[in-house]
Structure 1
Amino acid sequence: MQIPKIDLSEYEYTLPDERIAKFPLEKRDASKLLHVQDGKIEHLHFYNLPNLLPADTLLVYNDTKVIPARLIFQRETGARIEIFLLQPIAPTTVIPEIMLAKHPVTWETMIGNAKKWKDGEILKGHVQINGQDIVLSAKLIDREKKAVEFSWDDVEIAFVDLVEASGEVPLPPYLNRKPNAEDKSRYQTVYSKKEGAVAAPTAGLHFTDEIFEKLRLKGIQEAQVTLHVSAGTFQPIKAENVLEHPMHSEQIQISKETIEKLLSHQGKTVAVGTTSVRTLESLFWFGVKLLEGKGEEFSIEKLYAYQDRKSIPSKNESLNAVLDFMKKNGIESILGNTEIFIFPGYQYRMIDGLITNFHQPGSTLILLIATILGENWKNIYQEALDREYRFLSYGDSSLLWI
C-alpha cells in the first residue's frame, strides 16, 4: 500500500497537567467510560461495560505482569545508582526464561547517575527473601550498551524473586512522583500472570473480579495473549518524519488455545488495550509471512504490514497458517517479537473494538486511536477533557468500535 505522509502536528492536543490522573481511584471499576459507536458518544462508567458488549463478544486481554524494574544500589561513597531493566541479553533473551534463572543474568538497562559508576566497580545490595539475607551484585559490563550483569549468592533463588523483593514499581515518568505501597497492587491488572513488563497494560487496570463474573454470566468469552510492555511505550515521537520513529521491539507469546479460539469465534472481537491490539495484529502478519514464504521467525518489522501485495490473506487463512506451523513444530505456544507501527491508513484484521485509556499527545498510541476513530479523534478527546475525564495510565477508560 502507499504509506501516507503523516504530519505529527495533526496528532497533538493540549493536555493540562490537572487532567493527568496521578493516583488511581479507590475502586477500579468506578472510572468513567466513554463509549463511541457509529459516531455516537455516551458517557458512562466502567461498571456499565457488561451491558455494552454483545453476548457473542470475545474479549482478548494481555496477561503480562509488571515487574518492579527499578533496582536501586548505593556506592560505598553513598551515591545512589538506579538501574532500570529494559531487555534481557544473556543467557537468554526470552523473558519468561530469564526471570526464572538461578545464575547470573545480563540485561540492557537505563542507568541513573551512570557517571558515578566506575568501570569494574561491583555494586552490592542486600535483599531479604524468606528471612534470608541475599547479596545481589551488579556489574557494568558494557557502558555504551548499558549492559549490566546481575549475580547473587544463593542458587535456590530465581532472578524474579530478587526483583520482586527489592525493586520499585516503574511508574510512568509523567506521574512525576515516587511509587507508594498502593502502587504495587494497583499498577497491575487483577489477571496479570507472566512477569516481564516494565509498564502496565493500563486498559486492564479497570477490571475487577466482579466485572469478570458479570461478563461470564452474559456468555462473553475470554482469551489471553502476552505482550511484555517495554519502556518504549512512553517515548514521544520526535522525528519530523513520523515513519522514522524507532519502534522498540516487544516480546509476545500466544498459545495454540487462544489462536484456535480466535479462529472459531463468530462474534465480535474486542481487544483490551493497545498492547492486545498490537499482539493480535502481529499474529495476523506472522501468518501472512508464513504464507508468503518469508521465513518462519515470528518477528514483525515496523512497516511489514504496509508492503505492497497483490492480495492479503483472510484472517482465517492467516491463523490456519500459524496453526499448521505450530503443528509441524510440535509447539503449544509461539514466542515472537514485534515492532508493528499502526497509524492512519492501516486496516485492522483481527478486532472489531478496543477498550483503552486516553493517551499522550503526539504519541504512537494516539496514531493507533486515530486509526479507529478517524479525524474525529480530536473532537472526542476534547469532549473527554471538557467533561473532566482523567487521562493516561491511572485515568478513565473508553470503548471504541471500528
Structure 2
Amino acid sequence: MRVADFDFDLPADLVAQCPPAVRGGSRLLHVEASGKLHDRAFDDLPILLCSDDLLVMNDTRVIKARLFGRKESGGKVELLVERVLDEYEALVFIRASHAPKPGSRIVLADDVAVEVLAQQGDLTRLRFPRPVLDVLDQFGRLPLPPYIAHLPTADDEARYQTVYANEPGAVAAPTAGLHFDDAMLDTLREQGVRTAAVTLHVGAGTFQPVRVEMIADHRMHSERYTIPQATVDAIYETRARGGRVVAVGTTSLRALEASAQAGKLHPGWRETDIFITPGYQFQVVDALITNFHLPRSTLLMLVSAFAGMDTVRAAYAHAIAERYRFFSYGDAMFLDKRPQ
C-alpha cells in the first residue's frame, strides 16, 4: 500500500487557525459503519452514546516544549522537546545552521546552559541544569502545530489543552479532547456514560511527514503510555455489560490497542511504536471520536483502518464539500468501527 493512497486536496482556508468561539462549539460528522454520513453538532454527542458505553480519554497535559537559544559560538538554535526522559534529560529536535556536537552547550535565556549529550537518529539528547519541566515552564513556548500560522497567545494556552489534562509531558494536544467542556462531561455522566483515563504523551513525531513511498517502510516514533488498573477494569466491565469502548482521540486508541497486542490489556507504563494501517484487527476500541487529519499522515491511515478506506475517503470528500474545519482546532468525527 502506498502513501499516495492517503492523499487528498484540502483548501487552505479549511485549516482551522483558531478554536471555535466556545469550547465544544464544533461540528460533528457521524460516520456509520455502513458508510452513511450524518452532519451534527458536537453538542449532539450524547445521543450517539448509550448508558453502558465507556469513554476513554488521554489525560496528558501539553508542556511549553519550544525553546530558543544560542550555541556557544553564537549561532541561533531552536529546540523542540520531543520527549522528557527523566527529571533532567530530554530528547529534542534541533533547528540550527549546524547541529551542535556532543559535549557542547546551548545557552538559553538567563544564561541557563544545557549540555548536548548524544545524537539519537534525528533527535538530540540534552541534559538540563535544572528539572526539565521547570525550565520549560519558565522559558518555553507552547508548541502549536506547524500548520497554525500565528504565534501562541494566552487564549491558545487555555484552549490547546483539554479540560481534563492532568499529566504533563505532551508536546501536542490530544485534539479530539479539546471539544469537551465540563458541562458536556457532566451531561454524559448523568446519562450513565462512564469515563476512564489513559496517558500517552504525544510527541512531535505526530507532525513528521511520512517520507517513504510504501507505508510498510515507515517507522513510527516511540511514545510512552500508561493504562491504570482502574481503566483496565472499566473496559472489561463495559464488555460484560454489552457496552462500547469509545476512544476519545487516536492517542487513546493507540494506547489501548498497543496494550492489547499480547492478547489482553496490561496496566502500567510501556513504550509503543504501533503503526495501525488498513488490515489491522482492532481488539479493544468499538468507536472513535477524532478530528480530521493531515493528508498522507499516519493518523489518516489509522482512521482508514478503523472505518474503512472507502468510507473515510467519502467522509473527507463530504467534509470538504460541506466546509468542515480541519486539524487540531477543527471539527470532529464520530466513527463507528467497520465490521471485521
Same structural fold, with TM-score higher than 0.5 when normalized by the shorter chain: yes
Counterparts of 1:59-74 in structure 2 under 5 Å?
59-74=55-70
Give the alignment partner of residue 191 of structure 2, picking from 199, 218, 225.
218
Counterparts of 1:68-83 in structure 2 under 5 Å?
68-74=64-70, 79-83=75-79
Which residue is 1:241 aligned to?
Answer: 214
CA distance in 2, matches of 1:120, 1:340: 33
SS where residue 90 of structure 2 aligns? strand
Q: Determine if the alignment matches structure 1 residue 370 to structure 2 residue 325.
A: no
Cα deviations across residues 15-37 of structure 1 (Å, max 9, x unaligned)? 11111001111111111100112
Which residue is 1:275 aligned to?
Answer: 251
SS where residue 259 of structure 2 aligns? helix
Which residue is 1:142 aligned to?
Answer: 118
Q: Determine if the alignment matches structure 1 residue 28 to structure 2 residue 23.
A: yes
Judge which range, 348-357 or 47-56, deviates more: 47-56
Cα deviations across residues 20-65 of structure 1 (Å, max 9, x unaligned)? 0011111111111001123321111111111221121100010111
Which residue is 2:3 aligned to?
Answer: 8
Structure 2 vs 1, CA of residues 259 and 118 (structure 1 numbering), >3 Å: closer, same or farther?
Answer: closer
The letter of the residue matching 2:247 is A
Cα deviations across residues 57-101 of structure 1 (Å, max 9, x unaligned)? 10001011111111122468875321111234xxxx4xxxx2xx3
Which residue is 1:111 aligned to?
Answer: 94
Structure 2 vs 1, CA of residues 40 and 11 (structure 1 numbering), >3 Å: closer, same or farther?
Answer: same
Q: Determine if the alignment matches structure 1 residue 172 to structure 2 residue 145.
A: yes
Judge which range, 216-225 or 108-117, deviates more: 108-117
The letter of the residue matching 1:348 is F
CA distance in 1, matches of 2:106, 2:2: 46
Contact 2:72–2:104 at 8 Å: present in 1 too? no
Judge which range, 40-49 or 59-68, deviates more: 40-49
Contact 2:278–2:302 at 8 Å: present in 1 too? yes
Superposed displacement of residue 244, structure 1: 0.7
Superposed displacement of residue 118, structure 1: 7.2
CA distance in 1, matches of 2:185, 2:55: 10
SS where residue 30 of structure 1 aligns? coil
Cα deviations across residues 105-129 of structure 1 (Å, max 9, x unaligned)? 23221112252857755344446xx
CA distance in 1, matches of 2:293, 2:99: 35
Judge which range, 118-127 or 77-86, deviates more: 118-127
Structure 2 vs 1, CA of residues 281 and 118 (structure 1 numbering), >3 Å: closer, same or farther?
Answer: closer
Structure 2, unaligned runs of 5 or more: none
Counterparts of 1:244-259 in structure 2 under 5 Å?
244-259=217-232
Structure 2 vs 1, CA of residues 115 and 260 (structure 1 numbering), >3 Å: closer, same or farther?
Answer: same
Larger radius of gyration: 1
Which residue is 2:51 aligned to?
Answer: 55
Which residue is 2:129 aligned to?
Answer: 151
CA distance in 2, matches of 1:249, 1:386: 36
Structure 2 vs 1, CA of residues 116 and 63 (structure 1 numbering), >3 Å: closer, same or farther?
Answer: closer
Which residue is 1:345 aligned to?
Answer: 279
| Percent identical residues | 40
The letter of the residue matching 1:381 is Y
CA distance in 2, matches of 1:32, 1:204: 14
The letter of the residue matching 1:46 is F
CA distance in 2, matches of 1:85, 1:140: 13
Contact 2:82–2:205 at 8 Å: present in 1 too? no
Q: Determine if the alignment matches structure 1 residue 263 to structure 2 residue 259.
A: no
Task: Please provide the CA RMSD for this pair.
Answer: 2.0
Contact 1:67–1:169 at 8 Å: present in 2 too? yes
Which residue is 2:177 aligned to?
Answer: 204
Structure 1, unaligned runs of 5 or more: 1-5, 128-134, 153-157, 289-317, 323-332
TM-score (norm 1): 0.77
SS where residue 29 of structure 1 aligns? coil
Which residue is 1:390 aligned to?
Answer: 325
CA distance in 1, matches of 2:82, 2:97: 16
